[in-house]
Amino acid sequence: MKGLGEYLEEGPQTTHSPDVGTTVRNRGVLKKLLVIPVILASAFLLHHSVDTSTFRPFRHVGDDDLCVQASPLFPDLHDNLWTELQRDLEAKEFKEKVVEWLSGAIQVPTEMFDDMGPVDQDPRWKNRKLFHEYLVQAFPLIHSNQHITLQKVNTYGLLYTWEGSEAALKPIVMAAHQDVVPVNSETIDEWTYPPYSGHFDGERIWGRGANDDKSGLIGIFTAVETLLSRSFVPARTIIFPFGFDEEGGGFQGAKELGKVLVDIYGEDSFAFVIDEGGGFAEQFGRQFATPGIAEKGSLTVQLNIATPGGHSSVPPDHTSIGILSRLLVEFENNPFDVALSRSSPLYAQLQCFAQHASTLSPALKNTIKRSISSDKALEELEKEVFKTRLWKAMSGTTQAIDVIHGGVKSNALPEQASSSDVETHDTRILTPLAESFNLTFSAFGKLVSEGGPSSGKLDLESLSTRQPLEPAPVTPLDSTAFQLLSGTIRSTFATHRGLFHGDSEDDEEKSVVVAPGMPTGNTDTRFYWKLSRNIFRYKHHHSESSAHTVNEFIEVDSYLEMIRFYLTLILNTDEARDI
């Protein structure tokens, strides 16, 4: 039986530089300090970021209340339009156009590299302009509609505004990003089709960005273009911010877009924000959709060791490499304490498994249910959950080390430590060893201990290019926005599979269950926190995806379902008056 952790998205991959041993062999160099940089990425959690008075995932009354599901939500006022759109989605011509739009977008490489400079200096940004030109050519209705305006932010950030007819309604944000991760030139021969061909084989669209995230951006635009072709005019304003460097952290794209949106609309001015993120997958015999309601924080620090050089034939008792190795072992021998909390998204997800999963063992179901009121049962559940590495990673602070120049984004649940707590932890771990090696030790700009005049230095500091990221605010599950999203997910899933044409138990057992989730990585929403209390990381796709890999693809049937979701979400939101 698969555990929950097997269904989680893989975290960021570490890129390793050449072996440290080849870097530090400096034979014959006297009185020269040898500096060995080490990147240590520690995830951190904010102890009081979860307000348990409002973060009550579900009412704990009986077994049937562990994970109450919203009813599938279908448009009412727009019922006739929605019905027409369902026919569009089934048409051969529509499928061909959908494939053409996404394939064309894939054919414009918009790779994001870690070392890219400012947009006005680095020529590698210019392919974004080509992508903009493609959008104008592919979606003429969007770019000619009198109710839609485009503002470019920091040259390549796209901010589309679809003005609604009722100004009193809070607008919504539907986000995506233009950029893709690079294709390793050494893997070109491993691709079934060229990575920027956008090849369609009759079932799948292949290429870099097919999954992450041009399918999201083009899927949103496909929904909008289709609605415009039906003369739809929204009552509620919709904002489409499309960043251009999400794969590099979003510092030049989404960060600037977020500032502009706050300047124009003010804080907490949007009904909700939705961006890429979780999807749905079969878990324990049932389909579960897991929209992300939180994101982990991260802190990346750099450890520098400087000791006098010399000839290796007359070595000191402890070389820089030896000291460094001892320091790294100390970190790994002193991980953060991890605990399963009743107020965490993972715990709420476990409750959904207990109520709705068909193949979850009765014993584990019973433990989950008993843990609601029994601390002993909670401890039993924690032991079971932490047998899976990724489950454990979702429940506490993690840390990872890359000995050379790589940076690992390690993340954790927002309720255990702040960035300053992690700095204190790292400092405490290294202080005794620095003293034992007689090193002058400075941590985060402060002198911790002073060593001998010729023993060397140890510096621990935040990596200047990666500022501490505090955990994201947790989206409340009792909000009408979450209920609207959940109902839309359920109606989309059911409609695409022909369910709910009757009230049969068989249809209900085949339906999707919506449970709170938390992506393992950060999205562009890290710069949109001020816009709304309701932030969702969800793209209606099958979670077992091919993002960031060789042979990235998306199945056209899955892509059509994603477009169906965007269409239904826009119409459902347009009718809502209580969000």
Residue 394: predicted pLDDT: 78
Lowest mean pLDDT among 274-283, 421-430, 431-440: 421-430
Lowest mean pLDDT among 192-196, 368-372, 373-377, 469-473: 469-473
Lowest mean pLDDT among 105-119, 187-201, 313-327, 549-563: 313-327
Asked if 174 and 528 touch (Cβ cutoff 8 Å), the reply is: no
Residue 54 has pLDDT above 80, yes or no: no
pLDDT tens-digit map of 266-282: 999 999 999 999 899 99
List of residues 6+ apart from 421 with CB closer than 8 A: 44, 47
pLDDT tens-digit map of 328-377: 888 888 888 888 999 889 999 999 999 999 999 999 999 999 999 999 99
Task: Answer with the residue of higher pLDDT: 378 or 9.
Answer: 378
Residue 91: predicted pLDDT: 97
Q: How confident is the model at residue 504 (pLDDT cuts 50, 70, 90)?
A: low
- 3-state SS of 72-83? CCCCCCCHHHHH
Q: How confident is the model at residue 308 (pLDDT cuts 50, 70, 90)?
A: confident
- 3-state SS of 266-279? CCCCCCEEEEEEEE
Residue 400 has pLDDT above 70, yes or no: yes
List of residues 6+ apart from 375 with CB closer than 8 A: none
Neighbours of 322 (CB within 10 A): 14
Asked if 37 and 303 touch (Cβ cutoff 8 Å), the reply is: yes
Q: What is the pLDDT averaged over residues 221-229?
A: 98
Q: How confident is the model at residue 311 (pLDDT cuts 50, 70, 90)?
A: low
Q: What is the torsional sign of CA 266, 294, 74, 279? A: positive
Residue 103 has pLDDT above 90, yes or no: yes
Listed residue (49, 68, 543, 542) closest to 351, CA to CA: 68
Q: Which of 179, 213, 245, 423 is catalytic?
A: 179
Angle at 355 between CA 364 and CA 276, to 5 degrees: 100
Residue 315: predicted pLDDT: 66
Cα atoms in the Cβ-side hemisphere of radius 13 Å centred on 338: 23
Residues of the chain with CATH 3.40.630.10: 69-113+126-295+478-575
Q: What is the pLDDT averaged over residues 467-479?
A: 87
Q: How confident is the model at residue 467 (pLDDT cuts 50, 70, 90)?
A: low
pLDDT tens-digit map of 542-554: 866 677 889 999 9
Active site residue 379: no
Lowest mean pLDDT among 224-233, 262-271, 402-411, 487-496: 402-411
- pLDDT over 90 for what percent of the chain? 62
Which CATH number is 69-113+126-295+478-575 given? 3.40.630.10
Active site residue 179: yes
Residue 415 has pLDDT above 70, yes or no: no
Summary mean pLDDT of the chain: 83
**What is the phi-psi region of residue 388: left when phi exceeds 0, alpha when psi lies from -120 to 50, beta otherwise?**
beta
**What is the phi-psi region of residue 44: left when phi exceeds 0, alpha when psi lies from -120 to 50, beta otherwise?**
beta
Listed residue (290, 298, 274, 297) closest to 537, CA to CA: 274
Q: What is the pLDDT averaged over residues 285-311?
A: 82
Task: Answer with the residue of higher pLDDT: 416 or 491.
Answer: 491
Detail the residues annotated as belonging to a binding site.
177, 212, 247, 275, 548
Asked if 271 and 572 touch (Cβ cutoff 8 Å), the reply is: no
The Cα-based distances of 318 to 35, 49, 436, 472 in angstroms read 15, 43, 11, 43
Lowest mean pLDDT among 19-28, 120-129, 147-156: 19-28
Detail the residues annotated as belonging to a binding site for Zn(2+).
177, 212, 247, 275, 548
* CA distance linking residue 159 with residue 176, whole number of Å: 11
Q: Which of 225, 245, 246, 426 is catalytic?
A: 246
Residue 335: predicted pLDDT: 84
* SS3 category, 504: coil
Neighbours of 428 (CB within 10 A): 12
Q: How confident is the model at residue 309 (pLDDT cuts 50, 70, 90)?
A: low
* CA distance linking residue 492 with residue 92, whole number of Å: 20
